[in-house]
Structures are given as C-alpha cells and as structure tokens.
Amino acid sequence: MPANQRLLRQAPKPKAGMVHFGPGAFFRAFNAIYTDDVTDPISDDWGIVAVSLKSTTAKDQLAPQGCAYSAIERGPDRETIKQVNAIVDVRVAPDDPEGILALMADPAIKIVSLTITEKGYCYDSASKILDQSNLDIQHDLKHLDSPRTALGFIVSALNLRRKDGHEPFTALSCDNLPSNGQLLQNLVLEFAALIDGKLANWIKANGTFPSTMVDRITPATTPADIDRLAAREGYKDLAAVVHEPFRQWVIEDNFVSDRPQWENAGAQLVQNVDAHELMKLRCLNGTHSSMAYLGFLAGYETISEVVADPDFAQLVHAMWRDEITPTIPTPEGEDLSAYCAALMQRYQNTGIQHRTWQIAMDGSQKLPQRILGTVSDNLREDKVPHRLCLAVAAWMRFVGGVDEQGNEIDVRDPLAAPLKAAFNSADDAEGKVKAILAQRQVFDAALAENERFVVAVQKALAGLMEHGARHMVAECTV
Ligand code: CS2
C-alpha cells in the first residue's frame, strides 16, 4: 500500500521558529505533539525543523510524507490517532552542515531543542565534563563550520549570531539527565571557551538553557504497528509513532525570548525543575532500567510482561518504598506514593509493547543518574539498597553478553567492548564485579570502593549466575 501523501499533506504548515536535534520517536510523540497542540499554523511561527546528526532514517520516513505523520495513542483498551503537522522540514546534518548553521543563525529561530540521548552530550558521566577524547568533539573543535555534534552546532551557530549582532536562541535540553539545562550550559561553555573566551562570556551573559523533565513512554515503532495503522486507516505511514496516553513536561521558565504556549497543552512552567527531574529519573527510569536487565535475563520481552509477574511487581514496589522515594524530596504539586501507583499502571498498559532490550541499551550512560545516585544516597544513610544492587548486578550480567540460556546478547552501548572485557577478565562474581566497578566513566571512586556496596553486588551477581534472575527477584521482594 503506498503512503497516502495526499491525506498527510493537506494541512497548512507554520513558519519555522525552532530547530530540533534528534527527530526520533520520542520527539515525535512528545515535543512535536505539545507544539502541534498549541500552534495555529496560520498565525504562529512555531514550525520545527528537525535535524538528525547521523542517520537518514527520519528523513527517509518523513520527507516523502511532507513531514506529517500519525501519532498512535494506546491505552490498555483504546487506541486514538492524531495527525501531527508541527515538523516543517527534516534535515540530515552531514548532508548540509553549513545550511543547518545558517538556519540556526537566523534570528527567526528562537529555540534549539534536543533529544539526542545521554551519549549525544559527549561528556564523561561520572565527572560531568566535556569528553575531549571524543573524536567528533575533536573534529568540531577544529572544524566549526561543519560540525558533527549537537554541541558543535550550538556553539558554532551562537558564534554566528554573536558576530551578526543577534541575540542567542534558547537551548532546550529534553533528555533524561539531571539538571539537563545546567549540564548543557556547562558543556556549551566549556566547548566555547576552547574556541574563544569572549564567545563563552557572551553565551554565559546572554544565553539561556532551561532544564526540563520530559515523560512519555514511547517504544520503537514496529512494522506490525505500521501494518495495523494501514489496516485501520487505509494508508501506510512510515513515520508513525506509538505512545501511551500519559505525558508530563515540566519546563524551567527561562527563555531568551518568546516560546510556544506549551502550558496551554498542560506543560508546567516552573522556577526549578530539579526535584521533578529527580523524581522521574529515580522512580521511573530507575525501575525501568532495573526491570529491563532483570526482566531480560528472566526471558521477558516487554515491560508489561515483566510487571505481570507478581514477584517483579512486588520488587518494584519494594524498591520505591524502601530504596528510592526516601532519597528524594517531594516536588511541589506531587504525591510520591500516588506517582508510583500511577507508574505501575503505566507499566501494566499492554497496549504498549516496550521491549526490555530497548530500555537496556546504553546502560553505561543511564545507570549513574537512574540508579547509582540513589544507591549512594542510601549508603550515606547507612543503608544497603539490596534490590538496586541486584539491578546493578543484572546490568553487569547483561553487558557480559551471554544470557541465562547461553545465547549471545546483542549489547548496544558505547562502552560495550570494555565492559564485556571486564566481565570476562575473571571467572567468579567477585572478580567480575571488581573489574566492572573500575570503569570510572560509570562508577565514581567513592561508590566503587564502598565495601558494603561491593559485597552486595558481588553476592547478587553470584546469585544471578548460579540461580538466575527469576529466583533472585523472588528472594528480594520482601
Ligand atoms: C526508558 C525511557 O528507554 C529508556 O531508557 O527508560 O525512554 C522512558 O520510557 C522515558 O523516559 C519515559 O518518559
């Protein structure tokens, strides 16, 4: 069945006011929908130019459809479909970096937003500073006119705006990182200072980098989703996305100039996002990653399958109750136990097929802010969070690359090779744990050398290797 280009092209498009890096499923199911919901295509100039840093996939999917696509909202027993028209153009950075820089230098662009995932920030997650050993960063520092990284594009475009006498755009990080705006600002300033100290000072004085908390569960779209949509609607939409009904966007209200009225679609504009972000990263992403590794090892394919196992559901409840919520302040307007109860219902949504393998990706970049910070806070209170330690051990077993049936695991992680080598450098759990804890990009020295933590993870890994994930989860529920 051909793409129904006529159907997807009918809507008028707003003029471009934003550039967005990272046009994957999450952005299309989240930022683009919030923007679509509040933008009048005739009178508002909030169209989004979406930019991929590497892959041509988003362009291949969106461009033939005039950048329109379907967002499929799936509840446990109901599906609704919305056509989204917020994207006005889609580009691939390596095809035309100069053209993208020229666009970003244009004062009509008020906001540059990012969903580039943790590794897109090219930083050392333990020390939080720019990773100058990253080859793309090295390239961008030398070739500012044809960058490869989001940081390179932002600094280069801000440099052009400064030279042209324009104000900066607001740089809006929408990735799952604590104080993501502050982190982005620090990295941009560090990068800019390596180019020109005056540029760094100008950005510091004039630019803004609001932090945000973003939340909507959005699994990768599958061919079956596209076929099901085609059977229902009569057109084949290669750019379609599937998402849960829930969404939450908390944004620090600190923009250089105007912005879409996202609050009219329910976004919360606040003075400080940090408590919201901590709650979301630790309660949601922390248990998501725990379920991803333990669930994958136990042979479960999706999160809804994982929480259908009463032992796993019990484990997650116990993590929230004893190990996670005691470490976080309650954000204004939230109730932590209601938040966690709602999370469990979201995980149970069988309309959403969120694969444990997908969430397990890039664990080396995710673990510090999702789980290890919580572990450290517990240890500071003289408590050993055994369930989170079991999740850390499951991650170690996962990156070891062989599942409980002896099959190879397709581990996707920038540190996959050193982690696998560390796992294989010893025969027993004690040695494996020591070798992996020595990875300073993931574990800070204080945690890696905490004896109670080391022993808890060693015991958990030994148990996983001997008895398997299901057994260990059942042991850990009380
Ligand atoms: C997930 C997140 O893939 C993952 O690592 O934990 O993408 C999660 O679905 C979102 O953060 C929910 O807002």
**What's the pLDDT tens digit per position in 296-305?**
999 999 999 9
CA of 164 to the centre of ligand 1 (A): 39
Look-up: residue for tokens 């204080």? 446
Task: Single out the residue of 53, 199, 50 nearest to residue 134, CA to CA.
Answer: 53
57, 145: one domain: yes
433, 464: one domain: yes
**Burial (CB count <10 Å: 0-12, 13-18, 19+), residue 356:** buried
Q: What is the pLDDT of residue 41?
A: 86
Q: Which domain holds residue 236?
A: 5-270
Q: What is the pLDDT of residue 172?
A: 98
Among 232, 255, 270, where does a domain finish? 270
Compute CA distances 470 → 253, 321, 340, 408, 453, whole Å: 45, 21, 23, 19, 22
265, 279: one domain: no
The predicted model gives 174-200 an average pLDDT of 98
345, 314: one domain: yes
The CATH number of whichever domain residue 430 belongs to comes to 1.10.1040.10
299, 317: one domain: yes
381, 343: one domain: yes
59, 195: one domain: yes
The residue nearest atom 4 of ligand 1, judged by CA position, is: 359
Among 240, 270, 300, where does a domain finish? 270
Confidence of residue 9 (pLDDT cuts 50, 70, 90): low
Confidence of residue 42 (pLDDT cuts 50, 70, 90): confident
260, 278: one domain: no
> Mean pLDDT, the chain, as a whole number?
96
302, 332: one domain: yes
* 90 within 8 A of 49, measured Cβ to Cβ: yes
Q: Which is the closest atom of ligand 1 to the Cα of 370?
A: 6
The predicted model gives 323-338 an average pLDDT of 97
239, 290: one domain: no
Which residue from 247, 285, 302, 362 has its CB within 8 A of the most atoms of ligand 1, so it is best to mutate? 285
Residue 282 Cβ inside 6 Å of ligand 1? The answer reads no
- Name all contacts of 259-268 with Cβ < 8 Å and 24+ positions apart: 259/110, 259/111, 259/170, 260/17, 260/34, 260/35, 260/38, 260/39, 260/44, 260/46, 261/38, 262/34, 262/35, 262/38, 264/37, 264/38, 265/33, 265/34, 265/37, 265/38, 266/34, 267/34, 268/333
The CATH number of whichever domain residue 89 belongs to comes to 3.40.50.720
Residue 343 Cβ inside 6 Å of ligand 1? The answer reads no
189, 137: one domain: yes
**Burial (CB count <10 Å: 0-12, 13-18, 19+), residue 449:** exposed
Q: Across the beta sheet with 69-74, what order do the strands follow?
A: 79-84, 69-74, 241-243
- CB neighbourhood size of 434 (10 A): 16
| pLDDT for residue 477 is more than 70 | yes
| pLDDT for residue 134 is more than 50 | yes
CA of 217 to the centre of ligand 1 (A): 6
Our CA angle for 415, 421, 422, nearest 5°, is 90
| pLDDT for residue 4 is more than 80 | no
| pLDDT for residue 187 is more than 60 | yes
Q: What is the pLDDT of residue 12?
A: 81
Q: Helix, strand, or coil here: 427?
A: coil
CA of 51 to the centre of ligand 1 (A): 21
Q: Which helix (H) or strand (E) holds 462?
A: helix 451-467
Q: Is the ipTM of this complex over 0.90?
A: yes
Q: What is the DSSP letter of 95?
A: G
Confidence of residue 320 (pLDDT cuts 50, 70, 90): very high
CA of 286 to the centre of ligand 1 (A): 10
Residue 216 Cβ inside 6 Å of ligand 1? The answer reads yes
Give residue 428's Cα distance to chain centre.
33
Q: What is the pLDDT of residue 127?
A: 82
CA of 450 to the centre of ligand 1 (A): 29
The predicted model gives 210-233 an average pLDDT of 97
Q: For residue range 272-319, what is the model confidence (pLDDT) as tens digits? A: 999 999 999 999 999 999 999 999 999 999 999 999 999 999 999 999
Q: What is the pLDDT of residue 133?
A: 95
Residue 288 Cβ inside 6 Å of ligand 1? The answer reads yes
**Burial (CB count <10 Å: 0-12, 13-18, 19+), residue 43:** exposed
Q: Which two tokens stand for residue 302?
A: 């999706």
Q: Which two tokens stand for residue 37?
A: 């919901």
Among 270, 297, 314, where does a domain finish? 270
CA of 351 to the centre of ligand 1 (A): 16
State how many domains the chain has: 2
Q: For residue range 417-464, what is the model confidence (pLDDT) as tens digits? A: 999 999 999 999 999 999 999 999 999 999 999 999 999 999 999 999
206, 294: one domain: no
Q: What is the pLDDT of residue 6?
A: 47
Confidence of residue 126 (pLDDT cuts 50, 70, 90): confident
The residue nearest atom 3 of ligand 1, judged by CA position, is: 359
Residue 179 Cβ inside 6 Å of ligand 1? The answer reads no
CA of 354 to the centre of ligand 1 (A): 9
